[in-house]
C-alpha cells in the first residue's frame, strides 16, 4: 500500500491501516526513542504514546511532509520531553538523598543496552551514549537521526523543522563536543 493510500485509510479510521502503520514503523520509532532516553521500558512506553497520538490526531495531518517525518517528529518530541522529566526527577532525587538516613541516591540509571549492539561493543556503546546524552537536545536529535537512524540532512531538517544548513551546523557541533567528551576515554583506553 502506498503512503497516500495508507494515510487515506488511517483518516477513514480503518483498524487494518493502523495495524499496518504500527507494523511498518514500530521498530524505527522504538529505536529512535531508545537512542534518546536509553531505557528500553520507557522507550516502549514512548512508542505506544507515539502511535496513540498518531491514531488520535491523524485527521490533523496535512500531508505537507512524509508520514515517517511526522512520526519521527512526534517521537523525538515525546522522547525528549520524557528524558527532560527523568533528568529533573533524578536531580531532585539526588538532592533529597542528601537529607536521607543513608544518603543513598534514589534513582540510579540502569545500564544501557541497545538491541543492535554486540556484547563486545557494549562498553564502547555505553560510553558513547553517555556522551551523546550530554549533548544539547538539538545536537543529540540531529546526531541520532543521522548517525544511528541514517537519515539524510534534508530528512532531519524536516523532522526538526530547521534548515539543512542548521542540521549541518548541529552535526558539526555535536561531533566537536563528542570529541571533547570522549577524548579522555580513548586516551585512557589506548594508553593502559
For residue 189, pLDDT over 60 is answered with yes
**CATH 1.10.1740.10 location in the chain:** 1-86
Average pLDDT for the chain: 81
Q: What is the pLDDT of residues 177-186, one digit of tens each?
A: 999 988 887 7
Q: What is the pLDDT of residues 41-57, one digit of tens each?
A: 999 999 999 999 999 99
**CATH 1.10.10.10 location in the chain:** 116-192
Q: What is the pLDDT of residues 90-131, one digit of tens each?
A: 544 433 343 344 443 333 334 445 555 555 567 777 788 888
Question: What pLDDT sits at residue 15?
Answer: 92
Answer yes or no: are the C-beta atoms of 40 and 88 closer than 8 Å: no
Answer yes or no: are the C-beta atoms of 139 and 156 closer than 8 Å: no
Question: What pLDDT sits at residue 148?
Answer: 82
Residue with more model confidence, 3 or 190 = 3
Q: What is the pLDDT of residues 157-174, one digit of tens each?
A: 998 989 999 999 999 999
Average pLDDT over residues 141-147: 90
> In terms of CATH architecture, what is 116-192?
Orthogonal Bundle (1.10)
CATH code of 1-86, in short, is: 1.10.1740.10
Cα 120 to the center of its chain, rounded Å? 23
Lowest-confidence pick of 20-34, 75-89, 111-125, 135-149:
111-125
Question: What pLDDT sits at residue 147?
Answer: 86
Amino acid at each position: 500500500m502506498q503512503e497516500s493510500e495508507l494515510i487515506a485509510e488511517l483518516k477513514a479510521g480503518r483498524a487494518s491501516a493502523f495495524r499496518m502503520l504500527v507494523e511498518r514503523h514500530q521498530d524505527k520509532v522504538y529505536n529512535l526513542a531508545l537512542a534518546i532516553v536509553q531505557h528500553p521500558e520507557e522507550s516502549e512506553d514512548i512508542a505506544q504514546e507515539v502511535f496513540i497520538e498518531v491514531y488520535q490526531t491523524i485527521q490533523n495531518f496535512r500531508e505537507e511532509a512524509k508520514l515517517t517525518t511526522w512520526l519521527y517528529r512526534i517521537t523525538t518530541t515525546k522522547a525528549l520531553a520524557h528524558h527532560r522529566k527523568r533528568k529533573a526527577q533524578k536531580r531532585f532525587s539526588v538532592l533529597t538523598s542528601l537529607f536521607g538516613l543513608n544518603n543513598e541516591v534514589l534513582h540510579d540509571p540502569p545500564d544501557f543496552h541497545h538491541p543492535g549492539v554486540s556484547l563486545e561493543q557494549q562498553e564502547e556503546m555505553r560510553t558513547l551514549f553517555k556522551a551523546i546524552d550530554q549533548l544539547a537536545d538539538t545536537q543529540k536529535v540531529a546526531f541520532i537521526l543521522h548517525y544511528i537512524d541514517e537519515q539524510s540532512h534534508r530528512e532531519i531538517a524536516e523532522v526538526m523543522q530547521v534548515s539543512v544548513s542548521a542540521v549541518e551546523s548541529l552535526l558539526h557541533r555535536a561531533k566537536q563536543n563528542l570529541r571533547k567528551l570522549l577524548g579522555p576515554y580513548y586516551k585512557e583506553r589506548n594508553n593502559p
